[in-house]
Amino acid sequence: MLNSIPGAVELGLLYALMALGVFITFRILDFPDLTVDGSFTTGGAVAAIMLTGGHSITISLLAAFGAGLAAGLCTGLLHTKGRVNGLLSGILMMIALHSINLRIMDGAPNISVYGSDQLFSGVSPYWVKLLAIFGIILLIKLLLDAFLHTELGLALRATGDNARMIRSFGANTDLTKILGISLSNGLVALSGALIVQQSSFADISMGVGMIVIGLASVIIGEAILGARTVFIATLAVIVGSVLYRIIVALALRIEWLDASDLKLITALIVIIALVLPAIQRTWKQKLLAKKRSAELTGQTGSKPIGGGF
C-alpha cells in the first residue's frame, strides 16, 4: 500500500501549481474562475506539440505558461471590459478552449510524447528527483509570495478583499483582476504541461474536473495549516495538493471503488470540507451565545423559563 505514496507525492507536487492558480482566483481575487478546466489542457497540449516537435522541456514549459496567460487574459477581459458574469466568462472560455486545444493538438484527441525531453529524466535515485521537483515548486511558490508582497501584489490582494477601498487609493481593479486571472491560468497551464511530460501523454479531456480538484487541494491545505500569512497560505495549497493525491491513491486501493469513482470522491471531499466548518461555526456560536446570555442574566442553572403558575 505504501509503495504508491512516492508517486502520489510527485503528482501532488506537479498538480500543486494548478492548485496555486485556483488559490489566486478563488481565494485572493474571490473570483470563481472555471477557465481552469480548459487552460490545464491548453498547457498540456502546447507542451505535447512542442515536445514532439523536438523542443527542449524548458522552452515547452515556458510556452505552455504563456498560453495559459493568454487564456486567462481572455477570461479577464470578458469579465471586466465585457461585463460578463464571472462564472459565465469562465465557462465560455472553457468551452472555447476545448476547440482551441483540439486545434493545438492538430485534431488528435491524444498525443504521446514518449521518448522526448523530460524534467530530471537522468536524475536517480527517485527520491532525489522528487526533491528536485519539490525544489522547483517551492521556488515558484516563493516567487509568488514575493509578488504578492509587492505594491502591485498588494493591490491584487486588496481587489479581492475590498475592491472599493483599493479603487479609492488609485488602483485600477479591472487591471488587477485581469492580471490575477492571467497569472492563475498561466500556473494552471504550466501544471498541465508538467503532467504531460511526466506521464508522456496529452489528452483532450485531461482538464475535466480540474477546478474541483484545485479547490479540494486549497480547502484541505487550509484545514490543516490555515491561512494566517501569504507564506503559510501558499504552502498550505501545496500540502493540500499532495495530500489530495495521497488520499486518492489510498482510496483507489479500496476494492469496491473504481478509478471512475474518483471525481465523485473529489466532489465529496470538497462538499464535506465546505459544509463541515459552516455547521461547526453555527454550533459554536449557538453555544457561545447561550453561555453569554446565561452569564448576563445571572442564571447558571437550566431552570425552565415560564410555567410558574
CB of residue 232 vs other proteins: minimum separation in angstroms? 13
Rounded to 5 degrees, φ, ψ at 56 are -75, 160
**C-alpha span between 121 and 222 (Å, rounded):** 33
Per-residue x/- track, 30-69, other proteins (CB under 8 A): ----------------------------------------
The rounded distance, in Å, linking the Cα atoms of 136 and 13 is 9
Based on CB atoms, which residue is closest to other proteins, 105 or 171? Answer: 171
Residue keyed to cell 479577464:
76
Classify 283 as helix, strand or coil. helix
- Binding footprint of other proteins, residue count (CB under 8 A): 23
Q: In the complex with other proteins, which residue's Cβ is closer, 55 or 167?
A: 167
Query: Shortest distance, CB of residue 34 to other proteins, whole angstroms?
Result: 24
Report the C-alpha gap between 253 and 272 in whole angstroms: 21
Dist CA 286 CA 113 (whole Å):
57
Nearer to other proteins, 139 or 271 (CB): 139
Least gap, CB of 90 to other proteins (angstroms): 23
| DSSP secondary structure of 217-281 | HHHHHHHHH--SSHHHHHHHHHHHHHHHHHHHHHHTTSTT--GGGHHHHHHHHHHHHHHHHHHHH
| Contact pattern for other proteins over residues 73 through 112, marking x by CB under 8 A | ----------------------------------------
Cβ contact 136:129 at 8 Å: no
Query: Which parts of 125-184 interact with other proteins (CB under 8 A)?
Result: 146-147, 149-155, 157-158, 161-162, 164-173
Q: Which residues pair with 111 in a beta bridge?
A: 202
C-alpha 31/C-alpha 177 separation (Å) is: 9
Nearer to other proteins, 165 or 271 (CB): 165
Q: Looking at residues 188 to 247 of the shown chain, list those that interact with other proteins (rule: CB under 8 A).
A: none
CB nearer to other proteins: give 151 or 255.
151
Please identify, using beta-carbon distances, which residue of 48 and 218 lies nearer to other proteins.
218
Q: What residues line the site for other proteins (CB under 8 A)?
A: 146-147, 149-155, 157-158, 161-162, 164-173
